[in-house]
Amino acid sequence: MTEFKRAFSLVWDHFTLVTPNKVQCALCSQRLSFNKNTSAMLRHLRSRHPSEAWYSNSTSGAHSSTSNSTSGVHSTFSNSIISSAGVHSSFSGTTGLNSMFTNNAAAGHHIQVRTTRQEDLDDALVNMLVKDTQPFSVVEEEGFAAFVQKLDPSYNLPNKQALKKMVGSRCEFINDNVVSQMVISDFVSLTSDMWTSIDKHSYISVTGHLVAENAQLSTFLLGISKLPENHKVIHIEEAKNQLVASWGLHSRVAAFVTENSENMVATVQKLGILQLPSFAHVLNLVIKRSMEATLELQDIRSQARAIVAFFKLNQNAEMRLAEVQGQLGRPEQKLIQEVDSRWNSSFSMLERVFDQRESVAAALSTLDTDIIPLGSADYEVIHQCLGVLGSFNQATAELASEKRVSASKVIPLVRMLKITLEKKHGAIIHPTATQLASNLQRELQTSCSMVETEPILALSALLDPRFKMLAFGNQGYAQEAVKLLTSECASLIRINPDKDDTLPPSTTGSTTPSPTSPQTSSWAMETTSVSMATSPSKSHDGGLWEMFDSKVGETQSVQSSTADAAVEVQHYLSDPYLNRVENPMHYWEKHSKVYPHLFQLARKYLSVPASSVPCERIFTKAGDVFNKKRSCLSMKTIEQIMLLNKGLV
């Protein structure tokens, strides 16, 4: 097999087989693994040596000679991600992935690929399978093969084994780019969640989040791990540890965001990583508890659930509702069933029932059922309570749809929710709505009273140019956050003194160093302690004063770095606020050289998401992968399909 490939592949003109499993590049001497095919070598040449003469020759005809060859997938994937609309559609919204390739191009690694017709069609086929989550066996279906033959008789349809190799090659390509980003990123944030497939197996997935050097936020799937049937904390811990360790991230995790269940919190703590509760889950619990404590609203919810279930399960009733909606000139809308795990589904259910109250009542009156319709008094309660819950629904939707920066929003969101509740509480006249507002205020105070003292949230809000100190309701907490930010900035200056040249000069009136308060010392993020080199005048007293002179030098160094940090922080805080709807990363892209040390901290803290929604998106899509036609997929293949399908979310 090796001799066959060497005889017919021009790639071997640039590689030497040094061992049965290793090849060496003649252009850069790098060694690669060799698995009886030229895929890795092709990928290496196209990514590392795109301008070499081999490029225009080796792609002509080699791939089309066999239907099972996968050598062309690397080039077509590289090219299509950058310029092909077909591939871009399968990575819709994946700005993080595109930014990675932009970085490579900016660094001089231009990807200019010439592909054959066979390679283009192979690439499009893989795109279709991944995007539509179709089984590999579709290429063996007679109908599909006949359809493809009718479209292009010259196309050699690959078998499913070749498709699996193409998918694997694509995943390697994406992982290589993810690794290259993580190598130059000091910190990565993680999210994790568990889910159960249609075949009742439990899985845990982990996503990573980082801010690249070009200030673009990237989110990517680190991996999926299957859990034992009767999984316990130890199994979850092992799965998380394996996923984190496989990427070498233990010492570089800024925060691990999970739901606040005992299992998830315990496993993250055992990993020695800072755990941050998912704010979306906290908010969900706050609202669910408040609604459950409002008894009249609970009774109305139960009645509304029964009405919705009746129309959902009875086809004749659903058709009758649509007819009535047409007769009354109302929009034809189906009722929405609530989901226990998502409070906003209850909001959507009540909102739809209220909007269609006339149609629902008219339809029920013509149907043979013992379902009791809601009365006008009930609808008034729904209307008033929806008004109270409206701002919470907006906050939940904003967190779920956030694709840029979210942790920095937690403190200002909590503050705005409290202010909005206070205003509505004074304007509400219905006792049930008043009780709901009171319950929300109590639960919000219980669960979120200390968010302004949480260092990750405080620093992320402070480093968000949309919020800064205005995010805080308590100015004492705001000042503590500024002190902590100054302290971390000073540590970076001591570690990287060469980055001070872009800063305004410090003055004698600069803020003096302030020690970290006892509240923050236990949770301040780790920074490498570096002893600053000092050069006191050489002692002639036999070293009697050596320790003292050294201490003086260190103290002066600390004071100087703290003063410089205070200047950088104060200049940043005095800059105009960014419009709230703008992307804060655009600000840092422009000011990365103006505030170099704060930019490093922004990359750390603004990478932290407010919730585990990214993981939830993964397992929501995974439901399409786990079906009867894919019951025999290996864990590795499942992970590859999900990685390609979601790209970088």
Stronger pLDDT, 378 or 213, i.e. the higher one:
378
User: pLDDT-based confidence at 169, cuts 50/70/90?
Assistant: confident
The model's pLDDT over 295-326, given as tens digits with 9 standing for 90+, comes to 999 999 999 999 999 999 999 999 999 999 99
- Residues of CATH 3.30.420 domain(s) within the chain? 169-278+611-648
Share the mean pLDDT of the chain. Answer: 75
Q: Which of 1-15, 345-359, 594-608 has the lowest mean pLDDT?
A: 1-15
Band the pLDDT of 555: cuts 50, 70, 90: low
Of the two residues 547 and 475, the one the predictor is more confident about is: 475
User: Is residue 341 scored above 60 in pLDDT?
Assistant: yes
The rounded distance, in Å, linking the Cα atoms of 69 and 163 is 9
- 330, pLDDT greater than 80: yes
Cα separation, 527 vs 254, in Å, equals: 11
Residue 346: predicted pLDDT: 94
313-318's contacts with Cβ under 8 Å and 24+ in sequence apart are 314/367, 316/367, 317/363, 317/367, 317/369
Indicate the pLDDT class of residue 182, thresholds 50, 70 and 90: confident
The band of 530, judged by pLDDT with boundaries at 50, 70 and 90, is very low
Percent of the chain with pLDDT over 70: 69
Angle at CA 524, nearest 5°, toward 518 and 528?
125
Mean pLDDT, residues 379-407 taken together: 87
Look at residues 284, 314, 195 and name the one whose alpha carbon lies nearest to residue 638: 195
Q: Does residue 621 register a pLDDT over 90?
A: no
Fold topology of 169-278+611-648: Nucleotidyltransferase; domain 5 (3.30.420)
pLDDT in the model for residue 617: 62
* pLDDT given for residue 43 in this prediction: 72
Q: What is the model's pLDDT at position 521?
A: 31
**The pLDDT of residue 639:** 60
Q: Let me know: does 311 contact 362? Beta carbons within 8 Å.
A: no
Model confidence at 554, pLDDT cuts 50, 70, 90, reads low
Span 215-241, pLDDT tens digits:
888 888 777 777 776 666 676 777 777
Question: Which stretch of 112-126, 508-522, 592-606 has the lowest confidence by average pLDDT?
Answer: 508-522
pLDDT for the residue numbered 96: 39
Which whole number is the average pLDDT over 618-633?
54
Q: How high is the pLDDT of residue 438?
A: 94
Would you state the pLDDT for residue 68?
Answer: 37
> Do 278 and 610 form a contact (C-beta atoms < 8 A)?
yes
Q: Which of 357, 307, 317 is nearest to 337 (CA)?
A: 307
Tokens read off for 23: 């090849």
Measure Cα distances from 375 to 265, 382, 428, 518, 633 in Å: 45, 11, 20, 57, 52
**Is residue 102 over pLDDT 50?**
no
| pTM, rounded to two decimals | 0.68
Q: What share of the chain is helix, strand, coil (3-state, %, to 5)?
A: 60, 10, 30
